[in-house]
Structure 1
Amino acid sequence: MTAEPFPLIELSGSTEARGRRYGVEAAERIRLGLSHYQEQLDRLGLPAGAVRHAARRQFAAIARFDDAHAAEICAIAGGAGVETEDIVLLNARTEILRQARRGSEDAADGCTGSVLLPAVTRDGRLLHGQNWDWKVECAETAVVLRVRQENGPDYLTFTEAGGLARSGLNAAGIGLTANNLECERDGATEGVPLPLIRRRVLESADLALAIHAVRTTPKTASNNMMISHVGGFAVSLECAPDESFALLPEGGVLVHANHWLSAAALARLRDTGLDATADSLYRQERVRSHLAARRCLGIADLRDAFLDDFGSPWSVCRPPRRGLSGNLTATVAMILLDPGRAEMWVAPLPAINRRFTRYRLADGPAEAASFG
């Protein structure tokens, strides 16, 4: 089990050039990630042929959504020396599992996220972050991408190798994190894989268009996406496959774990994920109360809230442990965003490793980070 810093991969040029470079640079991690998911799918009894068929259907949905994203996926596959369907699987593993009606039998993404508005921070800067809880093996397969776009703002994103985006920030001051939700509508319709929607957010120069992308893009799987803007705005968009529900900060603090919070959402759908993630109830409250009890908050306060170990190993900061399905899961990474400074701090396996690496959108290497 490794707690080494996630590698920084620099991408620029055309869509195809970026994709091929990504595939070449991340080939080893892409292949390792594929082996983990193929083993998981085998355990679930999903035949390889069925997975390939599902990946081809997802690729068609991706191409309809954004042909440049589809071309990039093909280029990543070429650079890594794998099949296009393999890269689709890495981007659409949630959708493939939900459509197979098997997602509840295996570990679900956890995650606890928060945004602090400038009014409650020490130096008046918006701060945004999350813990990403998932398969412990992903500590060896995730990467950080620094992408220079020809048309659109540059961006930083933390993601599984081969994925188009997960969490991150862009040069327009937009920040993004996401956490799992489930409802009875999941898997019933064709939609766009979640990493493609997150990528669209990070490609957006305008906050309104980032929110529009999340709200209006059809999905196969539910998800919560937290969007922030350096100017002092944040929203948590609880998304079912066919509609979304907005939550705004209270007292300058926005927190979301893995259960539906919107009264409108709870009146219209059934939360089918909470039984498997019952700890979400107190994770939500532990982070909220930690931050709400303080004023003049800084990045270290956000870090400390996410390090909370109440209820361990079923805690905000999850050490490696077996989930209900027997999978070894953990808080794979803690990601802290400072959109005003265009910086991201990331610690792999923070329950057993407190070393952060700072990644900047500006040119320069990743470096060890100190919080003072």
Structure 2
Amino acid sequence: MVEAFPLIELSGSPEARGRAYGQKAAERIRRSIGHYAAQLAEGGHGAEKVRGWARDFVPRIEAFAPHHVAEMRGIAEGSGQPFEDIVLINCRTEVLQLGKRATLAAQDPDGCTGVIVMPERSRDGALLHAQNWDWKSECAETGVVLRIRRDDGPDILTFVEAGGLARAGLNAAGIGVTANYLESDRDYRELGVPLALLRRTFLEQENVALSFRAAYVTRKSGSNNIMISQAGGVAIDFECAPDESFQIHPTDGLIVHANHWQSPVALAKLKDTGIANTPDSLYRDMRVRGLLEAKGGKLSIEDVRDALFDDYQSPWSVCRPPRMSLGGNLSATVAMLLMQPAKGILDIAPLPAINRNFTRYELNPAPAQARAA
């Protein structure tokens, strides 16, 4: 039986939230750190070198969002882990890339297939936002869901690797966020703000315009695709190079994105270097869009779920069972996330290719905090 992701409730100051988070998720945080430390060690990178890479990001994080540093220090204190190891979890994409470039090792990128259904295409008139997160299958044992009660902005519900501040989720202002791996020939020429902390910043906003601004202008270390929606009926997909962002808007009420660049403007200006390692991306978005369009008319959250279960060309499929990646790691669709931002609902199935049991997490729950959807 696949275990549901635990729900952790947090409140108070950033430091207090961090300490409580570290205490409640200590074992999963330890697994997260151990997982990435072991992967980097296989590439010849010892703990002190890795912690040095993590420390290099701290001044950039301090300048961007000092309260994120305070929260990470709290997580370190609460979990009993070194501060640099908590920073590692929050910039693991960037540190893994630094490790790869130092050894010329094969890449094992995050996959993902994301979907946004605009209100005019939705059966109940409410925006839908969903994603399959493809990554290392072991991360099914390190994921958690955070429900964050904030005094300094809207409350947040986010799914994340234990020790991280955010990955995908929604907030009380109706903002929804998911992200997909992208790669280009502009990546890792200099360090920028870690992507996990950018996603947390999007979810900290009361107004989606400020989330859009952060996605569009913040300098990043590497490329990334960012999908931001707001329940009132606005959504933009940002294909981001480290120094430039390109917009993709809904077509026929849908945005569907996998792990390759779509913007003609972007493709005229940079080289997509990720397809060699994610060739299935070239049809995953087409499959999901085609399945949704074949439904005709208005779409429900069940329609989106069924499209994300697509097993065409399995195991190189939209919903990926555990398989060896081109980088030599065991990879899978770690989680399927179905969000209804207007209702504050996030349904998640761990390892959905082998487990179709969803758990419902609610921003403003009934007495049962998490129940079978």
Q: TM-score, normalised by structure 2?
A: 0.97
The alignment of Structure 1 onto Structure 2 pairs a total of residues equal to: 369
The answer to whether the Cα contact below 8 Å between 2:43 and 2:105 also exists between their aligned partners in 1 is no
1:104-119 matched pairs, under 5 angstroms? 105-119=106-120
1:347 maps to 349
Alpha-carbon distance in structure 1 between the residues aligned to 2:72 and 2:285: 35
AA at the equivalent of 1:73? M
Q: CA deviation at 1:104?
A: 6.3
Structure 2 unaligned segments of length 5 or more: list them: none
Q: CA deviation at 1:48?
A: 2.3
Alpha-carbon distance in structure 1 between the residues aligned to 2:145 and 2:173: 18
1:247-289 per-position Cα deviation (integer Å, ceiling 9, x unaligned): 0010001000000000011011111111100000110100011
Structure 1 unaligned segments of length 5 or more: list them: none
1:210-240 per-position Cα deviation (integer Å, ceiling 9, x unaligned): 0001111110011101001111111110011
The answer to whether the Cα contact below 8 Å between 2:111 and 2:133 also exists between their aligned partners in 1 is yes
2:281 maps to 280
Alpha-carbon distance in structure 2 between the residues aligned to 1:42 and 1:14: 35
AA at the equivalent of 2:169? G
1:139-154 matched pairs, under 5 angstroms? 139-154=140-155
Q: Secondary structure at the match of 1:275?
A: coil
AA at the equivalent of 1:39? A
Between 1:30-39 and 1:103-112, the stretch displaced more is 103-112
1:251-330 matched pairs, under 5 angstroms? 251-294=252-295, 295-330=297-332
The answer to whether the Cα contact below 8 Å between 2:112 and 2:131 also exists between their aligned partners in 1 is yes
Q: Does 1:125 align with 2:126?
A: yes
1:21 maps to 20
Moved beyond 4 Å, runs of 4+:
none
1:143-182 matched pairs, under 5 angstroms? 143-182=144-183
1:96-115 per-position Cα deviation (integer Å, ceiling 9, x unaligned): 12234268613110000000
AA at the equivalent of 1:190? L
Alpha-carbon distance in structure 2 between the residues aligned to 1:106 and 1:277: 10
AA at the equivalent of 2:155? D
1:130-176 per-position Cα deviation (integer Å, ceiling 9, x unaligned): 00000000000000000011110001000000001010000001001
Alpha-carbon distance in structure 2 between the residues aligned to 1:341 and 1:277: 34
Q: Secondary structure at the match of 1:244?
A: strand
1:179-212 per-position Cα deviation (integer Å, ceiling 9, x unaligned): 1000111111110000110000000000100000
2:3 maps to 4
Q: Secondary structure at the match of 2:343?
A: coil
Q: TM-score, normalised by structure 1?
A: 0.97
Percent of paired sites with the same residue:
57
Alpha-carbon distance in structure 1 between the residues aligned to 2:238 and 2:331: 26
Specify which of 330, 333, 344 is matched with residue 331 of structure 1.
333
1:48 maps to 47
Q: Does 1:72 align with 2:71?
A: yes
